[in-house]
Structure 1
Amino acid sequence: MSASDRRTSVCIAGGGPAGLMLGLLLARAGVAVTVLEKHSDFLRDFRGDTIHPTTMDLLEQLALTEAFEAIEHTAVRTLDSVIHGVRITAVDFGALQGGHGRLRFMPQWDLLNLLKDAAAQEPSFTLMMNTAVTGLVREGGRVVGVTARSANGTSGDGDQVTIRADLTVAADGRASVLREASGLEVKRYGVPIDVLWFRLDRPPVDPPPTIAYLSTDGVVITVPRSGYYQVALLIEKGSWDQFRARGLAAFRNTIAQIVPFLVEPLAGLQGWDELQLLSVQIDRLQKWYLPGFLAIGDAAHAMSPAFGIGINYAIQDAVATANLLARPLRDGVLTENHLAAIQRRRYPPTRRMQAVQRVVNRFVGRPGDGGHLPNPAILSRAAPLVARLTRPLLGRLVGRGFRPETIAAHILDPTWDNPRTSCT
């Protein structure tokens, strides 16, 4: 092994929610794990910032709730939408079992730093920042590690490094380098929308917390944050250049027509560089694994922004992976059958949630076309009854999703001796 080669039990590409959670859990179980993150820090805005009740349940299992609560964030019990001027409270998390009946909004970098600091306490955990994976290493029909480039090197192109591992995990997001290198087949679903994200100051008088405003002029998402709104305008896929051509004043006017109380904050939006375009996609791998290789999170299944569920499903993947693989990894008996078990467990809830998201995306798929929206008079009469019926169902669907995971006892306490796992 050369000086640029390293050896670990598990090599995880991507220091996002899935990668860091998996690294933390495996390290707690006594598995040697190395996480590679291509950036020098986690300070990237407009990433998934939604923390669902199931994620809070997991943080509680890890004794990280107090540390989480000490970080500035916002929380809502209900999700309101205003449709044609009619307010509907369609989602209520208060009825969920457990003590975390709130949806929380926190910059993702704060959550990642929390997980990183917890993982750093484990002697078998290594995090390599400024290290971008470039490909897979294969021997005898099996993935045995990755090649990577470290920006910490002295050469202009960075130092090349090879990391060999019993298991290589792609957790490097929807633009996954390792997913592409694996050659695994991706099934893609057409999504009719893109999203423009930007930040606005809060107005002098806030309305009740409202997640979405829908009208014949379009759809605007308003995520309440400490001192500001994280705002999104849904646009037809591929129409970004048309918006730019009409000018920033026309863009501000579009937002103001949909959400009139944002008129004053919109004056602070001064340039197109303050907006970020998210190209919405829904896809999933048909097969998530190869001998020695596994994809999880967005690398296995890109989710749309609907319900902000992507981060939660990525973390659930990580928990299921640690629960099912920690023992065979620690005992040196990992087989392809173990990897197949991950897909058998996580594929069905992913497929179901993506099906729900596709329905939602079709409903809001043509912003500015009021044909998808109910008549205001009918809506105002029907809304109270519909909301009462949907609150518990949508609270469960959004807050917990399909098949939420629980961290197994042998992860929380590696000396625990029962051979059965605790995926629930």
Structure 2
Amino acid sequence: MTAIMSNVSQTEAQTADREIIDITQTNCCIVGGGPAGVVLSLLLARQGISVMLLETHKDFDRDFRGDTVHPSTMEIMDELGLAERLLQLPHNKIRTLGVTTANGSVQLANLNRLKTNYPFITMMPQAKFLEFIVAEAKQYPNFQLILGANVQELIEENGIIKGVRYRGHGGWHEVRAKLTVGADGRHSRLRQLAGFEAVGTSPPMDVLWFRLPRSSQDAEGGMGRIGKNHILVMLDRGDEWQIAFVIPKGGYQQIRADGIEALRKSIVDVIPELGDRIELLKDFSQIAFLSVESSRIKRWYLPGLLLIGDAAHVMSPVGGVGINYAVQDAVVAANNLSEPLKSNSLHEWDLAQVQRQRELPTRVIQAFQSLIQQQIFARILNSNDSNFSFTLPAFLRLPILRDIPARLIAFGIWPVHVKTDS
């Protein structure tokens, strides 16, 4: 930890001559307006805790963000009395997860079998979800949102993180807080500033994201398709398909070199139904490249600082669980830290408790994702057999184990609940 705090102190020394326009005091400063940041902001604001949420962008609308709200998050919304209103926003429901191959369809998970009031994955633009939660938080006068706040520095005094400095409207600003929370995603600036190093794995794949129009003849919901050396997932976004084209790790440059026509042919080879609109994919500017990562940091906290969500553990897109694990982190953080923040008795062991409760579920789901990647994705993407036929691994074909994938995707290894006042 000494080396980490030294890194923070060096940053402070380098920026001592910056002119600070204003200094704001708050109980909790949350950096990052993704699912973890907005949900934690709402939960703390409901407890009467002053909270400031800093988001580097000027709105929440970024392309190709995760749009899946799983049963675990819906149950949390229900506990907050928000589920039914959230479901009034435009959305689609996915109740089963499966893939189609040349030999027929294979079901990977059936959420209908789960014991929950929300046995489905809610497909909803993440921007709409974030805006909904922020609108709820704004009902509390102790909540403040600052958009366009580019956090550059941690404030450290006597070995304790005391807040952040950010560049925003008019220049440099300073936020002083009892607790600073880094919820700023897989490229976390706070993780970098604190000097945390992530321990990563090497997923065998990357993903190309793009959109094509839906046809009235297309099937409802989402679907996955497997072809020779290719995996393609289609997510229903109303009048469009959001499409994930899974490629071998490190293969993007060769795809670029082969050109857009070769890519279009590969896509249609997997899903011939897209042949009537594939020409709308004109060039690579329409395609977003996601370098798939899976990693976690060994220590999620320093005195006065906590990292949650992708800032603490970057998830593979397998199962689409990243949003929901981030939300669960936020709930556990609020459950453990609300009382210490209100009583001005926050200690390092309170932050350690958050990691203790969330580290095992994170390790388990990352191990599950790695197993799926190696046993399914890698076999398909790297097969040289022209007669390759996909079959489920044996561990997923056993009847006694058939509900495990659905439960892990829906809830993790155990549900998380919002702590209520006794």
> Do both proteins adopt the same fold according to a TM-score greater than 0.5, normalized to the shorter chain?
yes
Asked whether the equivalents of residues 236 and 366 of structure 1 are also in contact (C-alpha less than 8 Å), the reply is: no
Question: Post-superposition shift, 1:387?
Answer: 8.2
Amino acid aligned to 1:170: G
- Match of 1:128, SS state, is strand
Matches within 5 A, 1:359-374: 359-362=371-374, 363-365=376-378, 368-370=381-383
Amino acid aligned to 1:240: Y
Question: Post-superposition shift, 1:371?
Answer: 6.2
- Match of 2:403, SS state, is helix
1:9 to 2:45 alignment: no
Q: CA offsets, 1:32-77, max 9 Å, x none? A: 1100001110111111111100111111111112321121111111
Identity of aligned residues (%): 38
Change (3 A) 1:71 1:43: same
1:332 to 2:344 alignment: yes
Of the three residues 73, 95, 102, the one matched with 2:91 is: 73
Distance in 2, matches of 1:265 and 1:137, equals 53
- Match of 1:365, SS state, is helix
Asked whether the equivalents of residues 292 and 336 of structure 1 are also in contact (C-alpha less than 8 Å), the reply is: yes
Of the three residues 190, 193, 201, the one matched with 2:213 is: 201
Amino acid aligned to 1:13: V
Q: List structure 1 runs of 4+ shifted beyond 4 angstroms.
A: 371-375, 387-391
Of the three residues 320, 329, 334, the one matched with 1:322 is: 334
Question: Post-superposition shift, 1:262?
Answer: 1.5
1:37 to 2:55 alignment: yes
Asked whether the equivalents of residues 203 and 262 of structure 1 are also in contact (C-alpha less than 8 Å), the reply is: no
Q: CA offsets, 1:355-395, max 9 Å, x none? A: 1111222231365433699964x949x99x93865542222
Which residue matches 2:315?
Answer: 303
1:240 to 2:252 alignment: yes
Distance in 2, matches of 1:373 and 1:292, equals 57
Question: Post-superposition shift, 1:259?
Answer: 1.3
Runs of 5+ consecutive residues of structure 1 not aligned to the other structure: 154-158, 411-417, 419-424
Aligned residues: CA RMSD = 2.2
Of the three residues 345, 354, 361, the one matched with 1:349 is: 361
TM-score for the superposition, normalised by structure 2: 0.91
Deviates more, 1:85-94 or 1:25-34: 85-94
Question: Post-superposition shift, 1:208?
Answer: 5.6
1:186 to 2:186 alignment: no
Change (3 A) 1:27 1:373: farther
Change (3 A) 1:223 1:388: farther
Of the three residues 157, 161, 179, the one matched with 1:167 is: 179
Which residue matches 1:402?
Answer: 413
Amino acid aligned to 2:410: G
Asked whether the equivalents of residues 218 and 369 of structure 1 are also in contact (C-alpha less than 8 Å), the reply is: no
Which residue matches 1:89?
Answer: 107
Which residue matches 2:4?
Answer: none
Change (3 A) 1:71 1:372: farther
1:24 to 2:35 alignment: no
- Match of 1:214, SS state, is strand
Which residue matches 2:116?
Answer: 98
Q: CA offsets, 1:98-153, max 9 Å, x none? A: 21001111110000000000000011111101111112100001101001110x22
Q: CA offsets, 1:199-234, max 9 Å, x none? A: 011234223644321122311111122122110111
Distance in 1, matches of 2:282 and 2:20, equals 52
Q: CA offsets, 1:146-196, max 9 Å, x none? A: 01110x22xxxxx10111100000000011010011112321111221110
Change (3 A) 1:338 1:370: same
Change (3 A) 1:388 1:163: same
Amino acid aligned to 1:26: L
Asked whether the equivalents of residues 195 and 280 of structure 1 are also in contact (C-alpha less than 8 Å), the reply is: yes
Asked whether the equivalents of residues 32 and 125 of structure 1 are also in contact (C-alpha less than 8 Å), the reply is: yes
What is the total number of aligned residue pairs between the two structures? 402
Question: Post-superposition shift, 1:238?
Answer: 2.2
Change (3 A) 1:372 1:331: farther
- Match of 2:319, SS state, is helix
Distance in 2, matches of 1:210 and 1:122, equals 37
Which residue matches 1:148?
Answer: 166
- Match of 1:31, SS state, is coil
Amino acid aligned to 1:185: E
Change (3 A) 1:137 1:366: farther
Distance in 1, matches of 2:224 and 2:415, equals 26
Which residue matches 1:47?
Answer: 65
1:221 to 2:233 alignment: yes
- Match of 2:280, SS state, is coil
Deviates more, 1:79-88 or 1:39-48: 79-88
TM-score for the superposition, normalised by structure 1: 0.90
- Match of 2:378, SS state, is coil
- Match of 1:267, SS state, is helix
Distance in 2, matches of 1:21 and 1:373, equals 48
Distance in 2, matches of 1:147 and 1:354, equals 33
Asked whether the equivalents of residues 248 and 381 of structure 2 are also in contact (C-alpha less than 8 Å), the reply is: no
Deviates more, 1:208-217 or 1:241-250: 208-217
Distance in 2, matches of 1:374 and 1:59, equals 47
